[in-house]
Structure 1
Amino acid sequence: MDGDNWLSFIAQCIKRDFIKEYLEKNENANVLIKNQAAGSGTWGKGQPEGQPKLKGLSAEDVTEMSLKGRALFLEKLRDLDEKDRIVAQLPTIAQFRTTRRIKGEYEFSGKEDGEKFYDAIGSFGDWRARLNIGVPVAHFQLPYRTLYNKDFPNILAAGRIVSAYDDGWELTRVIPVCALTGEAAGYAASISIDDNVDVCDVSIDKLQALLKANNNPII
């Protein structure tokens, strides 16, 4: 299954304001370097007019994302006094968030707030809630069934390619949830080998026991 991506470009900069904040508030040194975005945000705000979404599945899409993103960032830099900012880091790859995913036995939509699943592999919230942009706090469980399609008995997905769509893809594509699905896929693969069963027949009890033993509460 294919995804779509807004045109966005995120670099890291040091500004005079950041140094002032660090000195005045005695903050962690991390405040000296902050993300500086150009182009679109998560919901398309800032997308250049007439710019279609990009799938990221071709060399042409990758080139377009990279070159147009750099042009947008350069335009933003020109609005700042060159004495007030330093570009600390530019992205080394095109920043696609959703390219392809599997169609699993369960497709996570992001509407499952508060739902419990018998085959849950862990819990997570909506990362966007911490940005103070009107997104409510939520609690999700992710089913093991999002990691496989029973037509492929020896394949497990993890990270940004699990079976999730629409808002569900936005929720599962971030690093903590990618780590969660990666850990679950690794344990499930080991059980599949040890018990000589297809990935769809892995014992959920065994899988959850291993996850819980590694400090994953699955609440």
Structure 2
Amino acid sequence: MISILRRTFLAGTASLTGLAVSGCVSSTSAPEPLPLSQDPAYLSMYRAMPEERFPLPAINLKKVPDRFYRQQVDYPTSERVGTLVVDTQNFYLYLVQENGKAMRYGVGLGRAGFEWSGRAKIARKSEWPKWTPPDEMIEREPELEKWSWKNGGMPPGLENPLGARALYIFQGNKDTLYRLHGTAEYWTIGTAVSSGCVRLMNQDIIDLHGRVPVGTPIVVL
């Protein structure tokens, strides 16, 4: 009889122990991480900029693949620190930093037939630049004549194709007519749509403009 009671007691204890253990296990799964388009750090990075000469609206990050958001990445390279490298295959612009790092920006590039590649330097920088289409572009699109050099170019503003900042690419003393510049059409980042220039989101070109001095070497691959 005592043996039977002991077995019953032990079985009950095991049952209670099981309940106690199972009660310590949470059945709630971990919350899903926020997509980068909702990450407060990126929302701040691409915020509205009312302090600009022409106030900039915030970027709608849902319209830009998150791999094109500005970020520091590992980037081992033989290029010296401070060099700009445009990776035309992957639509990235790298600013080479120390210790195998780089600041990476997403870019839009020229349509087929309008690309340029080589080594050059940044010879000039401009905030809210005027835009003057080259003669070859005016020949293709005569309606752009009104913005030619002789007519003073297109004034700066949100509609200007060069956006909030422009960095001018020269080989020696010769203007290549290619630019690193901003664009309000941020949804085109990661595509080939512009006539030869390298376009960044306005918030990114403002950041880059502040980091890059005149004379910076640039390599377009």
Output the TM-score relative to the length of structure 2.
0.21
Higher helix share: 1
Structure with max Cα Rg? 2
Higher strand share: 2
| Structure with more relative contact order (C-alpha pairs < 8 Å, separation 6 or more) | 2
Output the TM-score relative to the length of structure 1.
0.21
